[in-house]
Amino acid sequence: MQRAPRIAILISGTGTNMHAILNAIRDGELEAVPAFVGSDNSAAKGLKTAAELGVPTRVFSYKNLGKADAEEAIALAVEEAGADWIVLAGFMRILSPEFVRRFAGRIINIHPALLPLFPGAHGIRDAWDAGVPETGVTVHIVDEEVDHGPILAQEKVRREPDDTIETLEAKIHAVEHKLYKKTLKEFFEKNPANPKWRLGMLETKKALISVWDKTGALELAKGLAAHGYEIVSSSGTAKYLEEGGVKVTEVVDLTGVPAILGGRVKTLHPTIMGGILARRGLAQDDEDRAKFNIPLIDVVVCTLYPFEQTAKSGADLDQLIEKIDIGGVSLIRAAAKNYYHVAVVTDIADYARVLEELEQKQEFTLEFKQELALKAFRATSSYDAVIYRGLCRELGVEEKVSDDKIIPLRMEQELRYGENPHQKAALFMPPLEHRPFEQLSGKELSFNNLLDLDTLLRGCSVFQDVCACTIVKHTTPCGTAYGSTPLEAFRKALACDPVSAFGGIIGLTRAVDMETAEAITETFFEIVAAPGFEEGVAEYFAEKKHNLRVLKILPGYAPKFQISANRCGWLIEEDKLPALPKETEGTWHGTPRPELWDDIVFAWKTAAITKSNAIVLVKDGAAVGIGGGFTNRVDAAEYAIKMAKGKAEGSVMASDAFFPFPDSIELAAKAGVRAVIEPGGSIRDEEVFKKAEELGLSLFVGGSRTFRH
């Protein structure tokens, strides 16, 4: 038969709830033994009541001792009296987190409101002032937050129209007296007294260390050992730590079961998982630990198998699967779930902070453990997402736009700021990918540089079949051209809009020679990017323009999807251009111009990487006028023609979408444009086609719309 639980009751005043509890014990309604009644106030009337009922009383003077010493006196009294539970019955002191942790799960409180509403010392008055139609009473386990913790019972009290605050208070107190003893009775029956409740306190603190990446692990283990932690580990980690001079208890010594299945199962055992997940001070958990000899584990340090690195190495599927960590993820999740009691460390960068926390505070604060737990859940979710992406790639599974997305992102670079100095920003990359360029020299890339580079790299990709140059400013091209040499392509591209090109970025599809490099340095550019640089060219740029960012374009990251997060949600679309227009798959209106086809396609490509609405004029392999980012097509056409000046004569025009009216066609014909390419699709297409034929303008309808917002 279980012995009756011993309770220590703390009060500050009259102690009416205490009185109700003691009467219930006396009358046999509640099976418990009052170890003592304690108060922070020597004049508390409840002390006299308790003494009259034959219960020992204690006074803990906060005024004379101070809070820390008074709490220590209470703790010692509880432990010396062998009290299983601390029952707060109107104790008007906020217990420190340290005290609560010392008796975690063993402190019970009653509060005159329906928590989480109206916490604090004035729950009744606060509810009254708020005018709520009902309030009530809450009995709960105490945690480190004020008036917070697992709720054991609640009962509502209705506020009637004729109630005063005094009558409401009387009704609440009446409910308190009945609810508290009823709840304690039910709780004690489910959580009987456990003579081994101090098991966890008497054990050596344990830190389980299981790491693939052993960077810093030896120093961390030595630091934990110096603070009284017993180091527990398995296989490779244990051997590494022991060779470094750390005394290690192997996992098998706790579980009695060696690693099995070729090392696939080492830490997945009830002794280990139970030691991590056990709730300190909870009677049922303590009984289970005592019954099965499960030691507490207070710290878990774990780094996972290198799945991502293995996937990048080109390993086969079998090798990849062997690098899927099971035990480590389980340890991390268990420790993170039980963060109230366990510190979980998954980031090597936190090792120093762990030791600093112990050095300064001798224990881990709840806030620190919460921070570590959140980081741990982030680590495991990212790890699983990387496995998903890696296996999809290895198994040839294509992700669809409509599939739910798992997007793990790794911070590649913390940027000085975003588009503007007041905005914080960083560059992230998905796993298994790398930047499509290598920076050879120059300043650190900025947020705006990276935005512009997206357009530039698209240009280099779409023009890679020729020796081409693209100049970009504010995410849209201000010059494109191709030629027989990089120098020719550069000069032709620069001539399109030399004013806008100032401060822009350049991309070439062929290696940069010294002659081209010298021409580039005559104008201020932020970036020059190319697939290669002839001997001495990169060094020339670094010496001549030390701020110029010189990038070598690599075969690399080409995302399958474009993702845009905005106030409406996350928009996701396939990241690809439509097929190039073909003369055989479109329709000419007016005289066909096959001799202009190369320029027509080049104009279409340039329009495809230009901000909408986009109109591009091309002549002799070079853009001579680019109108991009306009809110109507006729303004885009007017601007492109204006920028082309006399070069519009004999040029070709590309539009990224249909012409809603013939007005742009009229402007083109007037400027001397010879041919136009557009996708068609307007309800006025026939009107546009007819106008082109009337004006002697060759119009090719083909390809697809290439909006770019």
Residue 140 has pLDDT above 50, yes or no: yes
- H/E stretch holding 476 reads strand 476-482
647 half-sphere exposure, CB direction, 13 A CA radius: 20
Percent of the chain clearing pLDDT 70 (strictly above): 97
Residues of the chain with CATH 3.40.50.170: 6-190
Within a 10 A sphere around the Cβ of 573, how many other Cβ atoms? Answer: 10
Residues of the chain with CATH 3.40.140.20: 412-553, 583-701
Q: Active site residue: 337, 375, 443, 552, which one? A: 337
Q: What is the DSSP string of 312-346?
A: HTT--HHHHHHT--SHHHHHHHHHHHTTTT-EEE-
When comparing pLDDT for 282 and 214, which is higher?
Answer: 214
pLDDT at 193: 59
Fold of 6-190: Rossmann fold (3.40.50)
Give the residue among 476, 462, 677 at the shortest CA–CA distance from 575. Answer: 462
Task: Report the alpha-carbon distance of residue 174 to residue 171 in Å, rounded.
Answer: 5
Task: Report the alpha-carbon distance of residue 23 to residue 487 in Å, rounded.
Answer: 99
pLDDT at 202: 37
Burial code (b: 16+ CB inside 10 Å, e: under 16) for 263-299 equals eeebbebebbbbbbbbebbbbebbbebeeeebbbbbb
Residue 10 has pLDDT above 50, yes or no: yes
Contact 463, 435 (CB under 8 A): no
> For 81-97, what is the mean pLDDT?
91
pLDDT at 411: 83
- What residues contact 645, with CB distance under 8 A and at least 6 apart? none
| pLDDT-wise least confident of 260-274, 426-440, 594-608 | 260-274
544 is catalytic: no
Task: Report the alpha-carbon distance of residue 150 to residue 266 in Å, rounded.
Answer: 34
Residues of the chain with CATH 3.40.50.1380: 199-387
* DSSP at 418: S
- What residues contact 441, with CB distance under 8 A and at least 6 apart? 538, 541, 542, 546, 548, 549, 550
pLDDT at 556: 66
Q: Given CATH 3.40.50.970, say whether it is the number of domain 412-553.
A: no
- H/E stretch holding 415 reads strand 410-415
CATH code of 199-387, in short, is 3.40.50.1380
What's the whole-model pTM score?
A: 0.59
Q: Active site residue: 214, 269, 375, 474, which one? A: 474
Q: Is the peptide bond before 116 cis (omega within 30 degrees of 0)?
A: yes
Q: How confident is the model at residue 200 (pLDDT cuts 50, 70, 90)?
A: very low
19 is catalytic: no
**Strand ranges inside 488-537, DSSP E:** 505-508, 527-530
- H/E stretch holding 587 reads strand 587-589
The tens digit of pLDDT for each residue in 161-192 reads 999 999 999 999 999 999 999 999 998 888 76
pLDDT at 132: 93
Measured at the alpha carbon of residue 45, what is the angle toward residues 41 and 48, in degrees to the nearest 5?
Answer: 105
* DSSP at 534: -
86, amino acid identity: I
- H/E stretch holding 486 reads helix 486-496
Give the CATH superfamily of 583-701: AICAR transformylase, duplication domain (3.40.140.20)
Residue 2 has pLDDT above 60, yes or no: no
| pLDDT-wise least confident of 289-303, 336-350, 393-407, 648-662 | 393-407
